[in-house]
Amino acid sequence: MAGAQRRSSVLLNAAAMPLLAMNLLFAFQGNNPASACVLLAVLTMIAIVQSFAGWRFTNLTFQMCTFFAFVLKSWYEFKYGGPYYGGFGSDDRVYDKWGVQFYNLDTFDFMEVWSFLPESHNSPGYVYLIGMLHHFAEPLGGYDLMLPRILNMFLLANIGALVFKYLRDRSEVAPLTEYAIAFGLCLFPSMLYQSAHVYRDTIISYLTVLVFYSGCRRGNMLFRSVPIVVAISIMWGLRQLFAALLIGLTPILFLPIRRISNRQLILVGLLMLTYAAIAAQFGAVTDVVDQAVRRAEQYTALNQQRFGAMGSKVFQGNVVQFFPLRILFVFMTPAPKFNYDLVQGFLGVGTVLQFFALPFVVRSLLRDETDGKLKVSYLLIISAVACSTFSSRHMLCVIPFTFLLGIEEFNRSRLKQDFSWYFPYLIGQCIVFTVALMFLLII
């Protein structure tokens, strides 16, 4: 078995070589090709080692995702005349600009980022990372615009690797599941597209999955705690709200339980509310909560504008009263738009796939035998996104857990050779979405 796995890893790495060659050709056309080539080469070597020691698809997935990032950047340059969506006015352009500002300070002191960032800025850690990439590229001829994108794609491949390890720890992973991780998760349109930009969301998604995997895996508690502490510490500089959420989730992940009934799930929810109430008594956490509320209000106002007349109604009402509608709306984000815009069409395909995969997720949530820690993690994260930002970029934290729930139910049905339940679930789902739509039309 070990020999077969090794031969398979060799073949998959060989299949990745043409993609690596094309990625290097793209890199040579960049503004500072040496730094991009060096980072790509270093991460490729790490991915090759990982493909033999862990998930055999790691390097192939990394090269496929990186190739997409190069192609998308070239498309932006062709369509908009610059390497960013819309040209030079997008969020990732701003992060690159802030990274240059920090690099020009000629310091490694993290606190110096506040010398030019506004006090309300909620991601100083990512600005610091971009600045560090500038320092990394300095002896190689300078910073290349692809550096954070290449790093994002490496982390995206490692999200797939962590998902594989989680499934492998629970049972033997079928080859079909490995293909599903590579092509269904890592190449899922939203995951792939958002990771191809200078956004922090891929790193946040990776750290979230790392905390979940480390908490669930077997072994010494101290050994499992180290990556969790490191991940949450990094997360605090990237998005404090998610760091606070992970702090509350970690004790649940360490509980020696696997299965949680639906009644126990409600009890866990009440315990999380108690945690939030107690945490709010401490000044540092109160600041985080206040910041989260302000940020949620800002996103609510923004969502009322960008989702049009129908979608804006979801955000006009009270969060508690409209929570079920917000959850439903999550599964239609980003809203599919099949027009002449290739990017919107690509993302729309992902939303349609997400809709048809939802019955597997719902059925998995309703089963008592589904890993209780997975159910709690999923419900907590998707609720946080639905109640606050609702940005399609922030869905990157939700999708890996959605995938895990869906693939577990798919494997159960495949082993039993029973998919007769699927269409009744799908019809019920369509009825629920239709009723929600009619309600929005009436109010």
Q: Answer for the pair 315, 300: CB distance below 8 angstroms, yes or no.
A: yes
Q: Answer for the pair 136, 175: CB distance below 8 angstroms, yes or no.
A: no
pLDDT of residue 284: 45
**Residues present in the chain in total:** 443
Half-sphere exposure of 235 (CA within 13 A, CB side): 25
Q: Which two tokens stand for residue 266?
A: 């409600």
Amino acid at 276: A
User: CA quadruple 70, 71, 74, 76: dihedral positive or negative?
Assistant: negative
pLDDT of residue 53: 87
pLDDT of residue 418: 87
- Report residue 371: phi and psi, to 5°: -50, 120
Rounded Cα distance, 13 and 58, in Å: 9
- Report residue 84: phi and psi, to 5°: -120, 160
Q: Which two tokens stand for residue 179?
A: 């293909």
- With H, G, I as helix, E, B as strand and everything else as coil, classify residue 389: coil
Domain edges within the chain = 2-198, 256-442
Residue with tokens 């950047």: 73
Rounded Cα distance, 23 and 72, in Å: 12
Q: What is the pLDDT along the chain (443 residues), one digit of tens a residue?
A: 567 778 889 999 999 999 999 999 999 988 889 999 999 999 999 999 999 988 899 999 999 999 999 999 999 988 888 888 877 667 888 899 999 999 999 999 999 999 888 877 888 999 999 999 999 999 999 999 999 999 999 999 999 999 999 998 887 677 888 888 888 899 999 999 999 999 999 999 999 999 999 999 887 888 899 999 999 999 999 988 889 889 989 988 888 776 676 666 667 666 666 655 565 555 444 455 555 555 555 555 544 445 555 556 666 666 666 777 778 877 877 777 766 677 888 888 888 899 999 999 999 998 888 888 999 899 889 888 887 766 778 889 999 999 999 998 998 898 888 899 999 999 999 999 888 888 877 76
